[in-house]
Every structure is written in structure tokens, then in C-alpha cells.
Chains A and B, each alone.
Chain A
Amino acid sequence: MDASLYAVTPLNLLGALLLVLGAAFLLLGGLGLVRMPDVFNRIQAGTKATTLGTLLSLAGMGCLRPDWGLKLLLIGLFILFTNPLSSQVLARAAHRVGLKKSPLTQVDRLAEDTGEAP
């Protein structure tokens, strides 16, 4: 057990606050996955919330354990570069196989241009 993590210092408080904020955004992302009507809107909720939620959690961890800073920064960079890419590939694949879109959908220029299932 590392006692320094439980000491009440400004940096520890900031770290705890950032961790809670990060967790809150992750929770909202999870709620979005449940509430959103189709796969594209779900991916939107998932990508944005997990990116900011994880970055805030990493920043909070960096305040609690400054000696981990460099590695936490690297994890953050990996998330920033990989998260949007995986979402884009998922969305492209979902569109290509013609997964059902929400009836609220207004336009689909991609289907118009490629002839993929509208």
C-alpha cells in the first residue's frame, strides 16, 4: 500500500477529481451505447466518450503518480491515434454490409454515391 496516494495534497485532490470526471464521461459513453438507435450513432457515443474519459483518467493518474507521467503520456497518444481509426473502420464495414440505419436518418450520400444498401 502506497501511503503517499492517501495524503491530502492539492495534486492528489486534482488527480482524484480528474479520475472521477474521466469515469463520468466513460459512464455517459456507456449510456450512449444503450440509448442510441443505430450502429453509427453508437459508434459516435463510444468513440468520443472513451477518448476523453480515458485521457482524463490518465491525466488523473499522472497527478497521483507523477513518476509514471511519460508512460501515461504515451498511452494517451496511442489512444488518440488508434481510437478514431478503429471507429472509422467499424463504421465503414457496417455501412458496407448494409446494417440497418435508424428511421430518423435524413440523408445518406455514401449510399447514393456507392450504391451500397441504403
Chain B
Amino acid sequence: MTDASISGPAAKPRPNTSGSLLELDKGTRRRNAAEKRFRAYGMAAVGIGLIFLLVLLFTIVRNGVPAFTQTFIELPVTLSEAKLDKSGNRDIEEIKKVTTFGYGGLINSALETTLSDAGIASPFEKASELSKLISSSAAAQIRDYVLTHPDDIGKTVTFEVLASSRVDGYEKGRVTRVALLNDKNLDAEHLDVADQMKEAGVLKRRFNWDFILGADASESRPEQAGIGVSMLGSLFMMLVVLVLSLPIGVAASVYLEEFAPKNWFTDIIEVNISNLAAVPSIVFGILGLAVFIQFIELPQSAPLVGGLVLTLMTLPTIIISTRASLKAVPPSIRDAALGVGASKMQSVFHHVLPLAMPGILTGTILGLAQALGETAPLLLIGMVGYIASNYPDGIASGFLDPNSAMPAQIYEWAKRADPAYYERAWGGIIILLVFLMTMNIIAIILRRRFERRW
């Protein structure tokens, strides 16, 4: 009813009494100045953010990119029958008896021939000194080759073996001659030889797929370490997270949003879900340790357990974003469905859920991305397994086998003493970031693609 009484408003002083519109009065000038200041603050804030982002990206790329290349030495090794297969009957079992130590001599003599072929004079008296140029993985590499190709014994086969991490560091500018004064692993003379080998084209630096696809390696041979196996671990965990958290999260949010009565109990649940999203991830880690490993006695270091813990952590994120996107579906759509005689469930599953889907998927992908980068809970449940052999020979092949995860692997590398591992940690971060960026881009594309107007 609009029959409101009209009380005479008190005459107010008019704001601009000075007259001309062409001149700014005092108040307007002050307001404009305040607005300008505010814009400047905003721009400064955004600018600072951008600068930090650029610094971060620049540092990551500068420190991480060298990890993707590795120095290799071409080595023609004579697979001497006298040393590898004394009886000469090519019996695999007998060949297996020669351990990697037995291959040391072969490598030494191969190095000597390589140097003399290239016309490089060795500054060392003992031939074994030269082998410091080469990664200790070389012997295993040659032995593996011999075991798979026993017929090649007696021939000369050219191998591309990894240079030792110090030589690799020298090639990448990380190791200097001065630094080697205190280093027992390599001497400056080695670097002279390496320089000459590089000129002769025996020593090369090239892209190293094994960093992306390979397994971890021991503390003493960083040149061999790769992130591949932990990538597999992360993949298994993400599968567990996706399979568990998407249905549970969506079911919980649909129930809470569409069906549950609004009372103090659902209010408490709602508040607690929001709180759970803010619980430090390490708390979930210790919960997982207590429940899944100590109580249910699932194996340690298993991607299944990691996935379960990360599911607990991701669920609140998914529930919150799903509920937000369900809320964003206009109630008129629900009314329309109910109005033609659809049941509550039909209205939700035929109309509301499809409309909320882009939001749900975006939330899920972002939740997964968050879970992919999570380290702390994994440390507590032992998802830092040291797996030095790659799939399919390795044991990192299933949901219950010990494994590592990408962020945990990066953390492990960053902890190790050798600076070569430091470089690999940065390289691992680049790979992790590529994954996260891909997931975010997929989320953006999904959102754009399925965005609907109503």
C-alpha cells in the first residue's frame, strides 16, 4: 500500500553553489584525487604480483631446464669373450655371474682406445682414473646389453654412456675448476680431457628422455635419476582420487543442496565441510597413517593409500564447488520441472545436474590439480618410496606396490646433498607445473565449452 504520507523534506544545502560546471569544486577534486590514488594502489598491487610471478617463472626455468639435457660419452666397447664368457658357450646363467665390477676393465680399456683414437694424451698414470669421467651406471648399462644380446660378445659395440654428474655439471656451467679443488670425485685434469673429448665429438650434451620417463637413482649417481616412476605413482593416485571423490562429492553435494532439510544438523555439516577445506594437509596425512595404514593395515607407500588420503583432502573442495554450481542453477528451472510433474530426483538429474556439470567438472579438475601438487600428507604415509627400476621391470606397477609421487620425489631430490640433484628438483618442478597448467587449461576449456545461458 502506497498511501504513505508525504512529509515535507527539509531543504538541504545544494552541493555545488559556486556555479560554473567548467570549474571543479573542492569536493569533486578531492574525490577525483582519491579515485586516482586508489587506481594507483591497485595497479601497484597487480604489478608487484606480476613481477613476483615473472621472477618465479624465470628462476624455475633457468634452474630447471638444464635437468632436461644430459652429457653423454660415445664409447666403443669391445665385449671381450675372455672376460664375459670364459667357457664360450653363451650360457646366460654363466654370463650373469659376471657382476658390474667385471665390466670396469672393459670400460677403462674402451676409454683408453677412445682417447688414443682421438689423439688425446691421458694425463693420468692409472687407467682407472679416467673412468671417473663416466657415470657408474655405465657398467650396468653395458651388462644389461650383454645379457639381452649374448651373441654380440666378442664384437665391439658403441655405447652412449652417461658422463658422471661432475662432468655434466661442468658442461652446464655448474662445476668450475676452482670448485674441484675440494672435490675428491674429479680433478681439473679430468675437465681438460673432457674439453678435448668434446672437441673430438666424443662427448655430447643432448636432450634426455630418461629424466622424464626414468626411475630414481641412488644418491651417488644423480645423472641417472628420472621422474617417470613417480609420475606413474601420481597417475595411480589421481585415478583413485577421481574415482572416489567425484561420485562421493557430487552425491553429497546434491543431497545437501537439493534434498536435505535445512536444520541445525545440516548447518553443522555445512560449516564443517567449509572448515575441512582449510585443514592443513598434513593433518589428513596423519589421519591416513592412523586409519589406512595402522588400523586397516593397507601397505605403506602404496598409491592406493595416497589416493585415499588425497581423496579426503579433495572432497571438501569438490563439494564446495559442486554446491556453488548447483546453487547457480536458477530455481525457475527446478520449478519448471516440478510444474510438469517431474519428481524431485528427475528434476535434479534431468535438468539441474546437467546445467551444473561444467562447474562440477571445473571444481573437480582444480581439486585434482591441488591433490597432484600435495606433498606433506604423502610424506607421512611413506609415499616417498625409492624405486630405482622402471616399469615394467620395476615394482611400481600397481595400486598396492610401493611408489613415490611427483612432489614427494622433488622433495626427496631437493633434500639430497649433491647439487646435481638440486637441478633435478627444479626440473621436476617444471614437469609438475606443466601437468598443473594442462589441468587448469582443460578446466578453462570445459567451462567455456559447456557454459550455457538460460
Report if A and B associate in a common complex.
no
Chain A residues with CB under 8 Å of chain B are none
Chain B residues with CB under 8 Å of chain A are none
